[in-house]
Amino acid sequence: MLIPGTRRSDRVTTSLRLFVSGKDVHGSVFAVECRTAVLSRHGARIVLLQHINPHEELSVRVISTGLEADMLVIGAISETSEGIHYGMRFVDPKIELWGIEFPPITNEADSVAKVLLECEACKYTAVVYLREFEVEVFDAKGKISLRCKQCQEVTTWKVSEREPSAPFEASAQPPLKPSPPPPPRAKDGADRRRARRLDLKMTACIRTATHGDDVVPTENVSKGGFGFKSANKYAVGMVVEVAVPYSPEAANIFSLGRISGLRALPGEGRYAYGVCYLREAQVRKE
């Protein structure tokens, strides 16, 4: 279930092979290969078959690089056909295990989209915030020129080839209690939006416990949010996780958003929605 809370880092949905060892709830030692579902600068969601107590310390090694770190089990998040999804954080908060650069989340204020990119020259991987003209170039070309910290020069960047994690499964949990709806539009009907809207038909993913991963085309995007159409019913004020752009063949970055508008489309059997991003400062107030 999605619960609003302060997020200190972006979350990348990628399947990274790990070797994990520790003790289960019975005190038996295990050492198994498993995969990540989500990565962040400070931890991960890791899928295991074992039942593990909260606050248990595990040893985690990335198979592709051999890098190791100790992680603390925060608790179980959900159980799917893959196994039990555990939220974990690094024992040493300064550790960098995933080989991904995570920029300060406060840098996202002017971004229209977030994407995991890699430098074509050196394969350096980073979470990149794209502003409105950058996202137009990236949407048209599939690549963008950025300065690489490792190459120390401007290079061409493309979508990272890291393997995506499995799609999020819908659960039988009841839908979230909606947050209070946003203030109504001014009585004179004026549109008070300050962010310029781009008519980009990108693919987005709306993630909830009720509907799982709902993959939809965007109607428009701006640094404040985007519009989309879906046959699924979402309540105005509902907090969701969103990824724009989204690709089932790539690792994706999910952010918190709120359903800000709803309009029925009887002739289409769908609904038109607006989503506004929840920035870090807003999330802290919830």
What's the pLDDT at 81? 86
Q: Does the residue 74 lie in any domain? A: yes
What's the pLDDT at 223? 83
Instruction: Report the b/e string of 114-129 with b at 16+ CB within 10 A.
Output: bbbbbbeeeebbbbbb
Tokens coding 155: 């290079």
Domain count, the chain: 2
**What would you report as the CA-atom Rg of the chain, rounded to the nearest whole angstrom?**
20
Q: Does the residue 58 lie in any domain? A: yes
Q: Does the residue 151 lie in any domain? A: yes
Q: Does the residue 86 lie in any domain? A: yes
What's the pLDDT at 67? 95
Residues 78 and 127 in one domain: no
Residue 270 and residue 231: Cα distance in Å, rounded? 4
Start-to-end CA span in the chain (Å): 16
Instruction: Give the residue from 96, 135, 114, 137 showing the smallest Cα distance to 254.
Output: 114
Model pTM above 0.95 = no
What's the pLDDT at 285? 46
Q: Which domain range does residue 57 map to? A: 17-90
Q: Does the residue 115 lie in any domain? A: yes
Q: Does the residue 21 lie in any domain? A: yes
Instruction: Give the residue from 120, 43, 140 showing the smallest Cα distance to 87.
Output: 43
Domain boundary among 159, 179, 197: 159
Q: Does the residue 140 lie in any domain? A: yes
> Other CB atoms closer than 10 Å to residue 217's CB: what's the count?
13
Q: Residue ranges of the chain with pLDDT lower than 50?
A: 1-6, 173-179, 186, 188-193, 281-286
Residues 24 and 54 in one domain: yes
Strand partners, 118: 125, 158
Residues 111 and 86 in one domain: no
Residues 27 and 57 in one domain: yes
Instruction: Give the residue from 204, 195, 259 showing the smallest Cα distance to 233.
Output: 259
List the CATH number of the domain containing 51: 2.40.10
> Other CB atoms closer than 10 Å to residue 141's CB: what's the count?
11
Domain boundary among 142, 159, 176: 159
Domain boundary among 67, 90, 113: 90
